[in-house]
Structure 1
């Protein structure tokens, strides 16, 4: 896989020609506008729209946008840093035509995630889609590829104003919740199917008003794109039904939050799944074990991009299936890393690693890029996993946990940022501009919510993600 290259005249002409053909096709389907989206460092999806007749120009020459948005905080205030955050500068949004699709949840609209370029045609240093693409290329250089999929959890409210009123009240995981909102869920599944999203399953979750949808695995860039597409489809269908959807890591202070767990499998030459069929623990191959060990080693630092909000640490608590301890285990939903083998007979394709400590405030491109970099470092170091944990780690005596090297993950955003800044591997993989901006935005949110009660934190972030 090649890295995102420079946009020269020939590349621009080719993009324009492809976009012109796509625009003619979409116009014939009644599409009037294309939403070009990207996700900022704070995890919020931002957009600019072009009429269908301007898609050709947008593909060739881009759409202007200030770089300042990567310094936006959860309340849309700005945390200026060394590399971004002021009024000066511009970048260009170029639609990724390979991911251009009609947005069935918003009739008349299409969606295309954007690559962000500088005006000279080089990739913008804060483009997290390009960053993820680069990490995929680095793995490919060693003969590795990854299949990935995000699980999307959300909570649905039928109340007015900024409060949260659960739109369904049946038991956790109960069929009652499907019956309560069957029309809504049916329309959501129909919209996702019409948009080209392959849904594996949908079910009620634990908290009041909470659901989860799981989708098919694909390459990491596609998985992150799909996560954005699924969330925006959920948001649109919810509004059509008079409901509001929240993906916040903590919708209510006294309830469980929304995760955005990611499932990963490492493949050799795109043909052999390294998460099974080996002589390592529970069938892991040596490379699969090292990939998992690299992620496990860097979990405290990874939280700065995987659990990136002050609200994340209201969710990331023991005995809530959030993965609050840096450990791994076979089908252990309290471990931060859960090895999923799949059923007998399907393991060659189904075995994967679930990272549980990612939540709905994360930028999926940035989170995946960092996780892949950690796994790649593990492969390079031939890292080994510690013994698996077979129980809830919170149930183990603190002295025994210490003896076994089972550490609690950071309990605050500040502690995660400190671990992130001290991790040379992640900083090198992400680049100085991204690493510095991540730290700046996280410290900005810490300052913004300093002294706020859990209830105030939950209320501040509830409708932002």
Structure 2
């Protein structure tokens, strides 16, 4: 990864270009490893930040936006002028811990271990990921890690949690490649309370829709490319005004970073075209929604463990155990991957949303879809897709929790249940388990998950629980129309 820019993904061919087929090159055995406490490498941080400042000056950058994503899935920000970047990299920027218990509408709650007006943290920009923002002249962006004022990792930092899970995999000799699909609906700019008005009436997946917005989509592609991202494809999707862009796979932490960057880039380009973008799971009640599908592949010593093994469709025993752990934990993982109550308006049968707890080869109705790729590229392309996730998720929580569940399945040597083909909604009742149809059922599974409690740690586990419970209560009596309207421009 080059200092001062987002690391470009590797443009390998993929059977599922909308996500993360693995690279043919061996992944770094410990990408996104646990960061050193700031006090241990303050001088080095300052040197790297100063080098970044010199590069950013050449791009006429005046300020850096440092983001983190809260437990409601909202990206929050502190910005520093370019002249203050070195100090921010060495000493951090103040950020109150109460942000861990913000709801999506900015209501503040509290949890058993985090919350209230007292205390402060330090937000450190990751200078290795700084990138000039192509659609926001004068600005650069960096993801941040949060530490205590004494230099210890903040136990509620979601990005550090994801790093810990990547390190846990590396301790087992495993590396992962990941990607998160980015789907959005674009509408004409207007008052927040106004129903969406779409700039194109083109049909689903239709060339007409691309033609109507070709200048806009070209600028999206240009901005992403200028920011160092490898775009694999961009295309119209099913719902009115809906599009999807896919970028190349990376390590899990980097993929989570990229999902944040891509969404902000799409928003910025949209604003410059008099448009606004929504990544909410459902923009209009009753419509097909936006997913945030997570793709993962598991690697050992340069070998893709989803290929060449004796298990189903070439899975190795380690990959099968990993996926079995993920599949078995999907009810509780929904709390982290389908975070808002509005996500359950999308998670309905026969909509390719993955509403059933089953797996299958290229089965778009299964919550866990196995993608092997075409003959001849399977050693690089084979991966698994989690279809029941959406963009209300904090991406760092989502990737970290999936790794935790997968490692537990791998360690226990679990096996996948029988594969399901076809639409599980048409199966004999009771044959295929339905995933939780609402947040309370998912929360019950989450409360009972020893794996997630241990992986997240009590402070983060409890903060997530407080936020999810509060939002479930907040919208318990809301109609689908009200719920969609309340959240469509928050994500």
- Residue 85 of structure 1: CA displacement? 2.3
Residue 456 of structure 1 pairs with residue 482 of structure 2: yes
Does the residue aligned with 1:110 lie in a helix, a strand or coil? strand
Residue ranges of structure 2 left out of the alignment (5+ in a row): 1-29
Q: 2:129 aligns with which of 84, 87, 99?
A: 99
Please list, as runs of the form range in 1=range in 2, the aligned pairs for 1:159-178 lying within 5 A after superposition.
159-162=189-192, 163-178=195-210
Residues of 2 paired with 1:371 and 1:130: CA distance?
Answer: 15
CA contact (8 A) 1:332 1:390 kept: yes
Residues of 1 paired with 2:459 and 2:361: CA distance?
Answer: 37
- Residue 167 of structure 1: CA displacement? 2.2
Residue 279 of structure 1 pairs with residue 310 of structure 2: yes
Residue by residue, what CA displacement relative to the aligned partner does 1:190-236 show, whole Å, maximum 9, x if unpaired? 00000011111111000000001111011001000000000000000
Does the residue aligned with 2:181 lie in a helix, a strand or coil? strand
Residues of 2 paired with 1:332 and 1:464: CA distance?
Answer: 31
Q: 1:35 aligns with which of 65, 68, 77?
A: 65
TM-align CA RMSD: 0.9
Name which structure has the greater RCO, CA cutoff 8 Å, separation 6+. 2
Residues of 1 paired with 2:131 and 2:310: CA distance?
Answer: 43
**Which TM-score applies when normalising by structure 1?**
0.97
What is aligned with 2:169?
139
Q: 1:212 aligns with which of 229, 244, 255?
A: 244
Residue 410 of structure 1 pairs with residue 442 of structure 2: no
What is aligned with 2:370?
339
The alignment of Structure 1 onto Structure 2 pairs a total of residues equal to 458
CA contact (8 A) 2:189 2:274 kept: no
Runs of 4+ that moved beyond 6 A: none
Residues of 2 paired with 1:422 and 1:344: CA distance?
Answer: 42
- Residue 159 of structure 1: CA displacement? 4.7
What is aligned with 2:253?
221
Residues 235 and 159 of structure 1: CA distance in aligned 2, closer, same or farther (over 3 Å): closer
Residues of 1 paired with 2:367 and 2:286: CA distance?
Answer: 22
Residues of 2 paired with 1:200 and 1:83: CA distance?
Answer: 42
What is aligned with 2:11?
none
Residue by residue, what CA displacement relative to the aligned partner does 1:83-130 show, whole Å, maximum 9, x if unpaired? 222111110110111111111121111110001111001111111110
Residue ranges of structure 1 left out of the alignment (5+ in a row): none
What is aligned with 1:56?
86
**Which TM-score applies when normalising by structure 2?**
0.92
Does the residue aligned with 1:238 lie in a helix, a strand or coil? helix
Does the residue aligned with 1:131 lie in a helix, a strand or coil? helix
Residues of 1 paired with 2:190 and 2:71: CA distance?
Answer: 29
- Residue 20 of structure 1: CA displacement? 1.0
CA contact (8 A) 1:5 1:122 kept: no
